[in-house]
């Protein structure tokens, strides 16, 4: 795991060091730069595989091509063996170097062979090649300054803002989408105008057009989820049984692969719910040493902690319970906003699950460098209320849109986008399939995986997501939606797999317990923050806020104002002495 950044079109060592500095927490184990006539590249490394010899950038044998890599390639060993047989010579044992040689061997098609989570940049002296993994687990942001002849990229938005000539403006289209859904729907947008994401499953080539004296960009999508059309046919008992067995075998293999990838101690972020408990059991089964497990809440009485303790006892893990009080919650809020680079708010999902993940990761990073979590299971297997009630979900989104001024162009555009997913001619089977597709494509990347990366990496913690491993995703997306939500039971097929393990361990109650999700662990703190904001923010300021139509509460206003102060006013850095309770100490608030 690393933080990578670069400037195409300039040789600027001072600028690249500024970009690297703000991302140092993501990669505290080492750093490297490469400066050439048309390129400036920088990296901070979190060493996971071959910690002694894996410093980046890594060059090929002739030092004509180099790579900056963030992530993990879980199938790199057989790929390396094939490359050695083809005559490639290696100087490290890293997966990063394997990707570099795959690029030499197969060019841009090298991404088709990779299974894992990654965002990387390869420079061959003429062309810059960027790539992002299929599900968008690892981020990569960029901006293009045509008048300057520059293309700038980084693992974090704040890194890009360190280049002085990058404009800093709120993207109102993205803010509108987030206001309605709770996350940004457009897969290439961020909350900042001109700062884009490389979309999941996408590559980009950047080169100089020598004839026209400009930069050429070429974006290609190498992967797209292929979710089958809805079917009225029901799967038979034998067919369902075969799916369960296939899934069980794949989960066993994936868990074994994830705990064996690097020899570092591993942790599991354990809520005591179905997804994380099953992973904890499977990973403990295949781990050569005891796992660490971590749970978080705002009270020792929270049900998550009770169930997590039971799982920990059965797998004999080194268990850590993390209790957050309001003082810590409030003190960490600005640091979270700086790390998150986005708004934490309600919508489709409950607020502060992302902040909870940040606080959980901070404590877990004191004990391990690598943790495993259950993100992705709800989206892949159909675990939310909207999977059971897709028409109700689409109705809620439409109601949210009705609260806006109908002349707002961003609202009109979003209405048309949502009609493609949820047409006026209601077809429940189509709606059910589209909710699975909708959340897996957009909410997964721009909410859940955003929270995983931005919550963990600023603490130097790598978090792996087995449910989104290539082989599992390719298998499960082919399962009919009627098997995933079976007779009103969510995640039916995953529950049937888990039952085999839970029954053996005496943990069947996990299958019947109410789904709480991480935000529930912060219910008390969320209420306290709402009361705090009522006292902190005057009504007049709240009602007359420039972006009031997109902000539904005073908590929303506080989160937005912190984001604005840190990123728009201060270029992605915390102002000196910045605290939540002093943010409104300026004259125009009465």
pLDDT digits (tens, 9 = 90+) for 236-263: 888 889 999 999 999 999 999 999 988 8
Q: Are residues 191 and 247 in the same domain?
A: no
Q: Please report which confidence band the pLDDT of residue 496 belongs to, taking 50, 70 and 90 as the band edges.
A: very high
Report if residue 510 sits inside a domain.
yes
For the record, the structure tokens of 342 come out as 């986005």
**In the listed set 509, 524, 539, which residue is the last one of a domain according to the structure?**
524
Q: Are residues 248 and 339 in the same domain?
A: yes
Q: Are residues 304 and 197 in the same domain?
A: no
Task: Give the separation between CA 367 and CA 563, rounded to whole angstroms.
Answer: 30
**In the listed set 495, 524, 553, which residue is the last one of a domain according to the structure?**
524
The per-residue pLDDT of the chain, averaged, comes to 90
pLDDT at 589: 41
Does pLDDT of 1 surpass 80?
no
Report if residue 518 sits inside a domain.
yes
Q: Are residues 198 and 92 in the same domain?
A: yes
Task: Give the separation between CA 23 and CA 458, rounded to whole angstroms.
Answer: 8
Task: Give the separation between CA 16 and CA 479, rounded to whole angstroms.
Answer: 46
What total number of domains does the chain contain?
2
Beta strands in 210-317 (DSSP E): 214-221, 266-269, 292-297
The residue among 111, 188, 179, 113 whose CA lies nearest residue 144 is 188
3-class DSSP assignment, residue 277: helix
Give the chain's count of helices (H) and strands (E). 23, 17
Q: Please report which confidence band the pLDDT of residue 151 belongs to, taking 50, 70 and 90 as the band edges.
A: very high
For the record, the structure tokens of 481 come out as 């939606």
Q: Are strands 58-59 and 318-323 parallel, antiparallel or unpaired?
A: unpaired
The residue among 470, 379, 429 whose CA lies nearest residue 183 is 379
pLDDT at 586: 47
Q: Please report which confidence band the pLDDT of residue 353 belongs to, taking 50, 70 and 90 as the band edges.
A: confident
Task: Give the separation between CA 278 and CA 499, rounded to whole angstroms.
Answer: 9
**In the listed set 502, 524, 546, which residue is the last one of a domain according to the structure?**
524
* % of the chain at pLDDT higher than 70: 94
Helix (H) or strand (E) holding 253: helix 237-260
The boundaries of the domain holding residue 66 are 2-221
3-class DSSP assignment, residue 123: strand
Q: Are residues 213 and 252 in the same domain?
A: no
Task: Give the separation between CA 537 and CA 134, rounded to whole angstroms.
Answer: 42
Q: Are residues 397 and 490 in the same domain?
A: yes
Whether 51 contacts 8, CB under 8 Å: no
The residue among 555, 496, 550, 504 whose CA lies nearest residue 531 is 555
Q: Are residues 289 and 406 in the same domain?
A: yes
Identify the residue with better confidence: 415 or 511.
415
Does pLDDT of 588 surpass 70?
no
Helices (H), 446-522: 450-456, 470-476, 481-484, 492-505, 509-512
Which tens digits make up the pLDDT trace of 110-131?
A: 999 999 999 999 999 999 999 9
* % of the chain at pLDDT higher than 90: 67
pLDDT at 587: 39
């Amino acid at each position: 795991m690393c933080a990578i950044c670069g400037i195409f079109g300039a040789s600027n060592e001072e600028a690249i060091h500024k970009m690297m500095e703000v991302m140092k927490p993501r990669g505290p184990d080492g750093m490297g730069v490469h400066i050439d006539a048309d390129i400036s590249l920088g990296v901070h490394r979190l060493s996971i595989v071959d910690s002694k010899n894996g410093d980046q950038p890594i060059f090929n044998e002739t030092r004509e091509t180099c790579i900056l890599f963030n992530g993990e390639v879980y199938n790199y060993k057989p790929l390396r063996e094939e490359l050695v047989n083809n005559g490639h010579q290696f100087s490290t044992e890293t997966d990063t170097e394997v990707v570099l040689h795959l690029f030499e061997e197969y060019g841009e098609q090298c991404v088709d062979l990779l299974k894992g989570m990654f965002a990387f940049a390869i420079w061959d002296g003429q062309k810059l090649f960027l790539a992002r993994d299929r599900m968008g687990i690892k981020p990569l942001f960029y901006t293009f300054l045509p008048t300057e002849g520059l293309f700038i990229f980084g693992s974090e938005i704040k890194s890009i803002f360190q280049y002085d000539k990058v404009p800093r403006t709120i993207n109102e289209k993205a803010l509108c989408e987030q206001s309605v859904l709770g996350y940004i729907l457009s897969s290439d947008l961020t909350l900042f105008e001109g700062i884009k994401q490389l979309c999941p499953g996408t590559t980009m080539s950047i080169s100089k057009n020598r004839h026209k004296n400009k930069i050429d960009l070429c974006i290609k999508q190498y992967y797209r989820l292929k979710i089958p059309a809805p079917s009225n046919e029901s799967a038979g008992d034998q067919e369902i049984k075969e799916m369960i067995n296939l899934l069980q075998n794949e989960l066993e293999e994936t868990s074994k692969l994830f705990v064996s990838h690097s020899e570092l101690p591993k942790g599991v972020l354990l809520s005591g719910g179905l997804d994380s408990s099953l992973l904890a059991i499977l990973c403990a089964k295949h781990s050569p040493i005891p796992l660490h497990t971590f749970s978080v809440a705002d009270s020792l009485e929270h049900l998550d902690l009770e169930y997590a303790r039971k799982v920990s006892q059965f797998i004999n893990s080194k268990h850590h319970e993390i209790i957050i009080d309001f003082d810590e919650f409030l003190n960490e809020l600005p640091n979270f906003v700086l790390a998150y680079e986005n708004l934490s708010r309600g919508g489709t999902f409950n607020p502060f699950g992302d902040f909870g993940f940040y606080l959980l990761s901070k404590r877990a990073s004191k004990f391990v460098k690598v943790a495993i979590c259950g993100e992705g299971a709800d989206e892949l297997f159909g675990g939310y209320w909207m999977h059971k009630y897709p028409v109700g979900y689409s109705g809620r989104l439409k109601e949210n849109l009705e609260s806006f001024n109908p002349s707002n162009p961003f609202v009109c555009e979003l209405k048309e986008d949502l009609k493609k997913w949820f047409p006026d001619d209601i077809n429940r089977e189509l709606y059910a399939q589209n909710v699975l597709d909708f959340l897996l494509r957009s909410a997964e990347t721009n909410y859940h995986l955003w929270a995983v990366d931005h919550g963990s990496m600023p603490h130097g913690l790598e978090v792996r997501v087995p449910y989104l491993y290539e082989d599992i995703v390719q298998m499960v997306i082919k399962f009919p939606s009627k098997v995933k939500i079976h007779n009103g039971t969510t995640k039916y097929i995953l529950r049937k797999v888990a039952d085999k393990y839970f029954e053996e361990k005496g943990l069947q109650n996990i299958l019947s317990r109410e789904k709480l999700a991480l935000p529930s662990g912060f219910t008390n703190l969320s209420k306290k923050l709402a009361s705090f904001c009522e006292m902190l923010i005057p009504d007049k300021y709240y009602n007359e806020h420039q972006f009031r139509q997109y902000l539904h509460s005073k908590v929303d206003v506080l989160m937005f104002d912190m984001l604005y102060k840190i990123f728009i006013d201060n270029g992605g850095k915390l102002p000196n002495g910045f605290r939540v309770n002093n943010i409104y100490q300026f004259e125009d608030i009465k």
